[in-house]
A and B are shown apart, each in its own frame.
Chain A
Amino acid sequence: MTKLLEWLFGVSLVGSVWALVSFDLLDLSLPQTYKDVAWPMPLYLLVSFGCYSLATVGYRVATFNDCDEAAKELQEQIKEAKEDLKRKGLKM
């Protein structure tokens, strides 16, 4: 099953449960509070997922390591390498 199908499957599953409860499609005569809670649920889920995404990406950007040490080490090694290669007879 492709990821696309997995997503479609998941979304339609959640969507049908939502429709069942919100519109009481099976005539289960659910209490009104159930419908009131279920009806705006997709919007809540979407908004909270959006917030979660923004927070996660923001946190990861903020904590993205800057490898200053690695850059410095590399620069020194480049110098060393150039000298050594020149000694070995490399013409750059």
Chain B
Amino acid sequence: MASRKTSHSKQDKSDKYSILLPTYNERENLPLIVWLLVKYFGESGYNYEIIVIDDGSPDGTLEVAEQLQKIYGEDKILLRPRAKKLGLGTAYIHGMKHATGNFIIIMDADLSHHPKFIPEFIEKQKEGNYDLVSGTRYKGNGGVYGWDLRRKVISRGANFLTQVLLRPGASDLTGSFRLYKKEVLESLVERCVSKGYVFQMEMIVRARQLNYTVGEVPISFVDRVYGESKLGGNEIVSFVKGLITLFATT
């Protein structure tokens, strides 16, 4: 027993969490999300690094990121910019190439995902040794802020339809606040081809297909503080297309 205990605490110490932050025109939000990450990781004591993947933002996000790197140190903030806007999947691949953590956390840099939930993600992961832990807006104390009735109806309706058709075994499919074991994210990203909302959905559906275990943590989703959040006809059409594709192929 004693030896098992030591190996467990050793495991804790060697665990490192790499946060991937893909950004595009997030000059206002980036310093704030980084500040919050530093605050909550500092308080919880887990080992971490923040990897900023900026896709050539014209608003100077990268310069702000460089300043943050000077403030918080090059071991904590890593910059992996790309020349132009490319897909989310390739951003994860690009970021992961340089990630030194054995766990990867992905989240939006627009403050809709609050870093205060990350310690809960980590505890949840340890609790069941889950391959991935997904934040959920649809369970327990989870919820949203800044959504009107129309948005809520679309979101709940789309979620219900997806649950019926795909039975994915996770309550929030389009959310993008998740913690993955590094090798799990690598194998999933390789397989996923969708874009936008559907990408996150495909990731979790494929995870189920590959028999990865999924844990869930309720989160509050505070819709973009700075900048516009959109849900128009285009998003809905591409969501339906993606859903049909997954329905026929998984």
Contacts and interface: CB of A to CB of B under 8 A. Distances in A.
- A and B co-occur in one complex: yes
B32 A71 contact: no
A42 B71 CA distance: 66
B156 A61 contact: yes
Give the secondary structure class of A's interface: helix
Nearest to A88: B71
A60 B142 CA distance: 12
Given A77-B36, A78-B225, A91-B67, A3 B250 contact: yes
Interface residues of A, number: 29
Interface in B106-164: 111, 114, 138, 141-147, 149, 152-153, 155-157, 159-160, 164
Interface residues of B, number: 41
A42 to B, nearest CB: 17
- The listed residue with most A CB atoms (<10 A of its CB), out of B27, B155, B157, B159, is B157
Contacts of B142: 65
B247 interface: yes
Contacts of A92: 27-28, 31, 64
B31 A70 contact: no
Interface of B: 27-28, 31-32, 35-36, 64, 67-68, 71, 111, 114, 138, 141-147, 149, 152-153, 155-157, 159-160, 164-167, 220-222, 225, 246-250
22 contacts: A2-B249, A3-B246, A3-B247, A4-B247, A53-B164, A61-B153, A61-B156, A64-B147, A64-B155, A65-B144, A67-B144, A67-B222, A71-B145, A74-B111, A74-B114, A77-B32, A77-B36, A81-B36, A89-B71, A90-B64, A90-B68, A92-B28
